[in-house]
Every structure is written in C-alpha cells, then in structure tokens.
Chains A and B, each alone.
Chain A
Amino acid sequence: DGGITQSPKYLFRKEGQNVTLSCEQNLNHDAMYWYRQDPGQGLRLIYYSQIVNDFQKGDIAEGYSVSREKKESFPLTVTSAQKNPTAFYLCASSYEGRKGDTQYFGPGTRLTVL
C-alpha cells in the first residue's frame, strides 16, 4: 500500500470486452508505472508516465492504453486486442526529484478473462 490504491483486487471479464483498471496515489508522486506479472515470472513494463498529460510505451504496450489527466490517477485499459490479458497487474509511482525515485507499488489487480 503506502498511499497507492488499485481497484478492484479481482476482476473477471469475458473475452472480447475492454476493461479499465484503476490506480490512484496520494503521495504527490510525479511518475507512475504499469507492470504486468505472469505466474512465476518477473514484472514487465506496460506503460509509464513521468508528468501529467504525457506517457510512453513500455516493453509490452500492445493491446493496452492509458491516460494521465490528473497527477493522482493513471488508469490502464486492457483492450480486446490484448491476446493474453489474464495476469496480475501492478501499478507503481515514484517521486522524480531530489528525494530520489524509489518506486512504490500498489496491491495489484488480478484480471481473469473467461
């Protein structure tokens, strides 16, 4: 936790439906990140944003979209174009400044596509 919330904790969707995962932080962090974790694997970067109204693709952005309209919020949409959406999704944030840039993670959302 540490001021980063993700909802819901578990999410079920039918194949072909878009779904949006929420990520909110009250840490006044500038940067936010979305990672995906598959069973027994490390984390892979989907998208990241270093300032409001700007974001960049990570290593596995295909089939995902994001927005960063507010500093506190960085929602991730898993579209029907994502071929294997079932995974554990983690949001992180960091303070890009003189205090350093340690990333802190939310509790995660486990998405299952049926």
Chain B
Amino acid sequence: DAKTTQPPSMDCAEGRAANLPCNHSTISGNEYVYWYRQIHSQGPQYIIHGLKNNETNEMASLIITEDRKSSTLILPHATLRDTAVYYCIVRPGRGSSNTGKLIFGQGTTLQVKP
C-alpha cells in the first residue's frame, strides 16, 4: 500500500509555479521522500528527493515540513511539457533491510494549460 496521499488532479497555467502537495503522516525517521513523474507511455522520470531539509535542483524544489508529515513539490515555471502524473513516494534509506522497491500510488495528474 502506498504510504502517501496526493490529490488526484491539478491544473496550472503555463509559466506559473505548480505546487504539488503530498501527505505522508506515517513517515519514519529514516525514510526519504522521492518524487517522480510519468509522461504518458514513458518510463517514470526521477525529479528530486529529500530527508528533512528542503532541496532544489534544476528541475524543481522540494519543501518538507518540519514534522516531515507532508511535503510540496514546486515546479517554478511550468511548461506544457510538464503535463504528467506526479508520484510522491516514501522509502527507507540505504542500509535498511528492504527490497528497494518503489511503491507508486495513484499520483497527481498535473495539467498545464496555455
């Protein structure tokens, strides 16, 4: 079962920031928050991940609340090519006894409109 909750869909105007929320209220201390996105009929694309500090890379920013029970993925200037399903995933860190599998929930379908 997915350990995250995301809204099923969101719209965003082209050029504006897209803010995608994720709830992970049962996250454990050694679990990371990962974000992937999947454009129709393609493989999932890694976006960003974090443990407790906010993170930024060339694609997006990840804001994690202080209690780590929720996070927000920010696409600063959304384009039409950002239209995709966005998945928020929590998984144990390296060294834990786990298969490494990623549990994908239903994700959020982001529609960027002109």
- B81 adjacent to chain A (CB < 8 Å): no
- A78 adjacent to chain B (CB < 8 Å): no
- B114 adjacent to chain A (CB < 8 Å): no
- A106 adjacent to chain B (CB < 8 Å): yes
Consensus secondary structure, chain A interface: strand
Given contacts A45-B99, A56-B99, A100-B94, contact A105 B45 (CB under 8 A): yes
User: In the complex, what residues of A have CB within 8 A of residue B43's CB?
Assistant: 4, 6, 90, 92, 105-108
Decide if A90 touches B44 in the complex (CB within 8 Å). Answer: yes
Which A residue's beta carbon lies closest to that of B107? A42
A108 CA to B42 CA, complexed, in Å: 6
Which A residue's beta carbon lies closest to that of B92? A101
User: In the complex, what residues of A have CB within 8 A of residue B34's CB?
Assistant: 102
Produce 1/0 per residue, B75-114, CB < 8 A to A.
Answer: 0000000000001000000100001111111110000000
CB distance from B46 to the nearest CB of A (A): 6
User: In the complex, what residues of B have CB within 8 A of residue A110's CB?
Assistant: 41
Size category of the binding interface on chain B: 20 to 34
| B103 partner, pick from A33, A42, A105, A106, beta carbons under 8 A | A42
Which B residue's beta carbon lies closest to that of A1? B43
Decide if A58 touches B41 in the complex (CB within 8 Å). Answer: no
Which parts of B1-40 form the interface with A (CB within 8 Å)? Answer: 2, 34
- B68 adjacent to chain A (CB < 8 Å): no
Decide if A31 touches B44 in the complex (CB within 8 Å). Answer: no
User: In the complex, what residues of A have CB within 8 A of residue B104's CB?
Assistant: 42-43
Which parts of A27-83 form the interface with B (CB within 8 Å)? Answer: 31, 33, 35, 42-43, 45, 48, 50, 56, 58-59
A108 CA to B45 CA, complexed, in Å: 12
Given contacts A42-B106, A110-B41, contact A103 B46 (CB under 8 A): yes
Which A residue's beta carbon lies closest to that of B105? A42
Q: Which 9 A-B pairs have the closest CB atoms?
A: A42-B104, A105-B43, A45-B101, A43-B104, A108-B43, A105-B44, A107-B43, A90-B43, A106-B43
Binding site for B on A (CB under 8 A): 4, 6, 31, 33, 35, 42-43, 45, 48, 50, 56, 58-59, 88, 90, 92, 94, 96, 100-108, 110
